[in-house]
Structure 1
């Protein structure tokens, strides 16, 4: 663009560049640059001060974050020189004068090259900003892809069994394990498994190859699993596991379940990096994966972002699993009291789960998600149990299936059975980036079973995995108070005040709408009064 009107140009496609009339005005410092970007890419170029502080200084206390923001504003104005008055700030918000700013992403032509990257090389090193940037990059890629829409044909997965013996038992075990990994992937993205028979068609179109090699070793066997992106030969996952008895492979015991779930999860995490970005399956997977990160944060704005990302995923690939995730987001918003229009959220969650099951009939992951909702939100014991059992039967390596069965047993009045199933789910999911979800759920069930020590262990594990997770810290606070560890309880209360707007001990103890139903039901909020 040749600027003849004295506009401040902000180029965000590629490396960030801010200029006016041929002069570079890009401020020094990644966070100063990021602040301008946060404003330039907002709908009205205005953001609340607190929102900006949360995105750029999320690990700082409120006072230090405010001081950092004031310092950044001063440095940006100095860099902009005669354009400094474009940046406007008051006690509540910070904005740019939109009438004097041109942004290439909004005002220029949409790039047609799918390799175009938003803010290339900008490294702010704040988890909240990185999450925001991932969402913005995903949205850009979604917009680019919409210019050249394609039909979702499905990812092709070739599952191979390799053994050093011709015995049917060993070959069956290897074949079952390889196919369970392929099935696990196909639950989460549109995919087809390919036959390895001698008369199978040409496999040159294979996207993912899953090899399961089983070798006799002493009194047991060694199982080596390797998954690779066939066109590029990039390895997506590999692991060697020792098994004593092949029945553990066939029955999918806890060890095998953990390996299968881990392989599936890592393949899903890397798929968007290796597939052609123009393919709907690749775009939908990238959007949904980011949506899961946002969803399992349980934070209000993040849940809203997750909802939008899952909706975009479904628009790119009409797969019911994305509707199931969207319904789960709505249920979390209901349980977290994150929104006020609960009835509308319930109605939408109900409709979404029905649509998900229609579009992905028989999908074990969809059954598991819907079962969890029928238990925790709709309090439907029969419906929860039916779908949870179907999910576990179809995929005994799914931590999502086992946690839904734990939910079914809880509402059926079998807490000890629920605890055992939750422990299995937690063990299977121990390498997941979302492991804190299973840890937190196990903490709650342990509380219901009157096992405070086990609940504390699970709660602390959740807090380590997700230091900003509010549900884990809420329950730890009550558990520490119950055990008489008031110093620890107070530290958790202080942290909650930082990570949850509007938190107070009085609200936790006395507000019946605060989301700690199990603690309240068990009378475990009373010990907290010692801190009031």
Structure 2
């Protein structure tokens, strides 16, 4: 019997030998395949499938519609129609014929695919099922490991300029951009020279002065293929050159980071994704920690250890590890080693501050954060750490200003949720609850898996008598935090210090869930 493959990570796809497409065109038919394929032994009760796909129709109409969906699947299978099997009250796929593939393969932009990404069935029962299935898939599926390869090499080419002074300005900008990248991504930076055939990302610029303005075209291309990844034209005001150069370097840094994320899955794959490092998703954080653990410390020992400490601290904050005490101790050791390897690294100092803050070492946390901001005031990890340290010591207005200053830069695009979270916490401590709630809602837009923002939303909405909104936040929290209860939220060890100090834990006695 021919073998078929059902893929559920990304669009629902059913293929036969030679990658022959057997996927039905109908949305509900593909939805049925997703439900059946993810069920135990790939079998599901017909009544359950009918409720998921046609809950808004009367039973007779729903039953007839389900028969039509199953017929569509059988027709799409063609000569392999025996793969769709049924029995008393159930329907399924023959596991001897159909192989389920749940491998998560990153796309060209480096992002991991979503479970059943092409499904949009307007049925409330199916929408609830799909949301839970996607969440389970993110936590349970191990993404396919990247092919082993070299770290990407970033080369800075000599700028082409109309005069020597403009060439120097362009060189300074490119050098600062490359340096800022190397303070965030464990990678290799080299002169404009590689071994024959070696893969590299080349940063180049053409610059020309016209009166009081400098026009500069910056490109990121691949060598040896000459593929253009990114280009941008900058116009710098020579009258305020210092600020213009700093802004330009930061924007180029963001461009390089975007290219690196994409290049991970195309050529010379990065060992770690920054979007994973700064996420709140359990599977992605685990993937980032494993990638950093496996990296060669010789590339950038300080940054590798600092990012590992950041990931582990996030896992502790998000209650994603079975032994928080052991994890935070390991994070503290890594952060210390990161500072020993590079005492001047703003990222290493900032991560150390965050770890010490969790351990209630307020003055140490503040000192490290201050040092980090002094080393690099545009480093968003440093600004975040400083804001957090100020909050821990009760300086809420200053904490708010630091978070605002961090968000005003370009680099927080890598992790906007964290600084929005700092703003929300500072506003809550200041009693500005309406503004705080808006910040926590923004956090959810960037990071739906973020648990602390859901706790704040539930508490703040209940405080202003929005029980429906509080219930929605609690239900979302229960989905992303298995075992969550209101009694747990009220307990002394649960991480809601700001809510407890503000007398905002009334929701824990609401009985909403």
Cα offset, 1:265, TM superposition = 3.1
Q: Choose the corresponding residue for 1:334, options 297, 316, 320.
A: 316
Match of 2:468 in 1: 490
Cα offset, 1:453, TM superposition = 5.0
Question: Is the aligned partner of 1:344 residue 2:322?
Answer: no
Question: Is the aligned partner of 1:158 residue 2:156?
Answer: yes
Q: Choose the corresponding residue for 1:240, options 234, 241, 254.
A: 234
Q: 1:161 to 1:390 in 2, by over 3 A?
A: farther
Match of 1:435 in 2: 416
SS in 1 for 2:382: helix
Match of 1:184 in 2: 180
**Which string of whole-angstrom CA distances, capped at 9 and with x for unpartnered residues, describes residues 111-134 of structure 1?**
xxx9xxx99xx8525797899999
Q: Choose the corresponding residue for 1:315, options 282, 289, 294.
A: 294
Cα offset, 1:497, TM superposition = 1.2
Match of 1:110 in 2: none
CA contact (8 A) 1:372 1:407 kept: yes
Task: Describe how 1:396-415 pairs up with structure 2 within 5 A.
Answer: 396-415=377-396
Question: Is the aligned partner of 1:426 residue 2:407?
Answer: yes
Distance in 2 (alpha carbons) for counterparts of 1:26 and 1:171: 57
Distance in 1 (alpha carbons) for counterparts of 2:12 and 2:168: 52
Match of 2:335 in 1: 353
CA contact (8 A) 2:354 2:365 kept: yes
Structure 2 unmatched runs, 5+ = 121-129
Q: 1:87 to 1:382 in 2, by over 3 A?
A: farther
Distance in 1 (alpha carbons) for counterparts of 2:29 and 2:293: 36
Distance in 2 (alpha carbons) for counterparts of 1:22 and 1:509: 50
Cα offset, 1:423, TM superposition = 0.9
Question: Is the aligned partner of 1:500 residue 2:489?
Answer: no
CA contact (8 A) 1:30 1:123 kept: no
**Which string of whole-angstrom CA distances, capped at 9 and with x for unpartnered residues, describes residues 322-364 of structure 1?**
5533432332232233344323323443344356556777543
Q: 1:506 to 1:140 in 2, by over 3 A?
A: closer
CA contact (8 A) 2:23 2:30 kept: yes
Question: Is the aligned partner of 1:306 residue 2:281?
Answer: no
Question: Is the aligned partner of 1:266 residue 2:255?
Answer: yes
Match of 2:503 in 1: 523
CA contact (8 A) 1:215 1:223 kept: yes
Distance in 2 (alpha carbons) for counterparts of 1:135 and 1:526: 31
**Which string of whole-angstrom CA distances, capped at 9 and with x for unpartnered residues, describes residues 264-312 of structure 1?**
2332222253478453xx2414xx24524xx52x3xxx31442134313
Cα offset, 1:407, TM superposition = 2.4
Q: Which moved more, 1:439-448 or 1:388-397?
A: 388-397
Distance in 2 (alpha carbons) for counterparts of 1:32 and 1:510: 45
Match of 2:271 in 1: 284
Q: 1:441 to 1:214 in 2, by over 3 A?
A: farther
**Which string of whole-angstrom CA distances, capped at 9 and with x for unpartnered residues, describes residues 103-154 of structure 1?**
7999xxxxxxx9xxx99xx852579789999999994462xx24xxx554x5
SS in 2 for 1:207: strand
In the comparison of the two structures, how many residue pairs are matched?
A: 464
Distance in 2 (alpha carbons) for counterparts of 1:490 and 1:312: 41
CA contact (8 A) 1:429 1:435 kept: no
Distance in 2 (alpha carbons) for counterparts of 1:325 and 1:76: 52
Question: Is the aligned partner of 1:228 residue 2:225?
Answer: no
Match of 1:388 in 2: 369
Cα offset, 1:521, TM superposition = 1.9
Cα offset, 1:424, TM superposition = 0.9
Distance in 2 (alpha carbons) for counterparts of 1:88 and 1:368: 61
Q: 1:227 to 1:519 in 2, by over 3 A?
A: farther
**Which string of whole-angstrom CA distances, capped at 9 and with x for unpartnered residues, describes residues 47-76 of structure 1?**
999xxx9xxxxxx99x89xx99x9699749
Question: Is the aligned partner of 1:478 residue 2:465?
Answer: no
Distance in 1 (alpha carbons) for counterparts of 2:211 and 2:347: 35
Cα offset, 1:207, TM superposition = 2.0
Cα offset, 1:511, TM superposition = 3.5
